Amino acid sequence: MRRPSPEDEIPKDVLAAWVGGSEPAFALIVKATMRRAYAVALGFLGNAEDARDVSQEAYVAAHAARKRFDAERPFFPWFYRILRNRCLNALESRARRPEVSLDVVAERNDPGCGPERSHERRETAALVWKALFAIAPEHREIVVLRTFQELSYREIARTLDIPEGTVMSRLFYARQALRGALEGLPEFDDLKEETP
């Protein structure tokens, strides 16, 4: 998935038009941010169907609440809160057991290794993905923003509306949790040896 940067924001006049009720402006906003929204939801929910449904519902909710949006401010951090709440609510209604689908992740292309390793590589992706869903959603969230979306601390701080120092310590606890979850998986020991 392409690295989405919160810096490439939507022009102010488009945002203002949307607040005023313009449907083409709304289309522009959705199309500019839908990949990022879907990736965030996928990070919370773990499968494509839920990620699609919940992120689309978040757009509907944002559209209904557009009068409360300040067009002078960036769209995504504001929308992120709506999306995040929707995701957390969806997780809760599923009794905190996300249905994790393994076909939504793959390993990044590594030209250095042949096809004989492709099966094993898929397994690594599945392993990490499974471990991510064994940790708290708040921990998973920050790992997804940093590692999958490749956001800088500054960008994460803006998105979550927290100080950069908090980003750092949240990342630390989240990664500690992820390490714990991975070590709990039996497949992890074989992997530890081959990881550089």
Partner 1 sequence: MTDCPRFEGEGMKYIDGEMSAVERAEFERHCAGCASCRRELDSFTRLDALAGRVKMVDPTDAFWERYWRSVYRRVERKTAWVLMLAGALMIAVYALRQLFESFHRVTFETIAVLLFAAGFVLLLVSLIRERCHQYKNDPYKDVKR
Q: Does 158 bind partner 1 (CB under 8 A)?
A: no
166-189: burial string, b at 16+ Cβ within 10 Å, e else: ebeebbeebbebbeebbeeeeebe
Least separation in angstroms between residue 11's CB and partner 1 is: 18
User: Does residue 30 touch partner 1 according to CB under 8 A?
Assistant: yes
11 vs 181: CA distance, rounded Å: 42
- 4 phi, psi to nearest 5 deg: -95, 130
Residue 22 touches partner 1, criterion: CB under 8 A: no
Residue from 10, 16, 48, 71 in contact with partner 1 (CB under 8 A) = 48
Q: Which is nearer to partner 1, 11 or 21 (CB)?
A: 21
- Which of 126, 138, 127, 131 lies closest to 180, judged by CA? 131
**113 binds partner 1 per the rule CB under 8 A:** no
CB 43 → partner 1: shortest distance, Å? Answer: 8
**106 belongs to the binding site for partner 1 (CB under 8 A):** yes
146 close to 171: Cβ distance less than 8 angstroms: yes
Q: Which of 120, 176, 187, 190 binds partner 1 (CB under 8 A)?
A: 176
**Cβ atoms within 10 Å of 41's Cβ, excluding its own:** 26
Three-state DSSP state, 94: coil
Distance CA 108, CA 88 (A): 28
Q: What is the contact surface with partner 1 in residues (CB under 8 A)?
A: 1-2, 23, 26-27, 30-31, 34-35, 38-39, 42-43, 48, 52, 56-57, 59-60, 63-64, 68, 78, 81, 84-85, 88-89, 92, 103-108, 110, 121, 124-125, 128-129, 143, 146-148, 152-153, 161, 165, 168-169, 171-172, 175-176, 178-179, 182, 191-192, 195-196
